[in-house]
Amino acid sequence: MAELLAYLARELVDDPDAVRVDTEERDGSLVLVLHVAADDVGKVIGRQGRIARALRTLVRASAAREGQRVLVEIADPD
């Protein structure tokens, strides 16, 4: 799942080398935390969150095929 999210994010941003995905286990779910460069956060979120929603849908659908529950969070670039 992390590889899929990282691949999709790298295709969206201007600085693909800054893309990093951390994984955490929370309440029985796998949480993927997406880190991108500060200038690329808007590209990953998209207008009204449409890109972020699409990324979450794709990752969730891929995880469902494997019987997992996955959440995607976009990290604050601070």
Element (H, E) at 59: helix 50-65
Please, are residues 33 and 76 in contact by the beta-carbon 8 Å criterion?
no
**Predicted confidence pLDDT, tens digits, the chain (78 residues):** 999 999 999 999 999 999 999 999 999 899 999 999 999 999 999 999 999 999 999 999 999 999 999 999 999 887
Q: Where are the domains of the chain?
A: 2-74
Give the CATH fold of the 2-74 domain.
GMP Synthetase; Chain A, domain 3 (3.30.300)
Q: Which two tokens stand for residue 66?
A: 């494997």
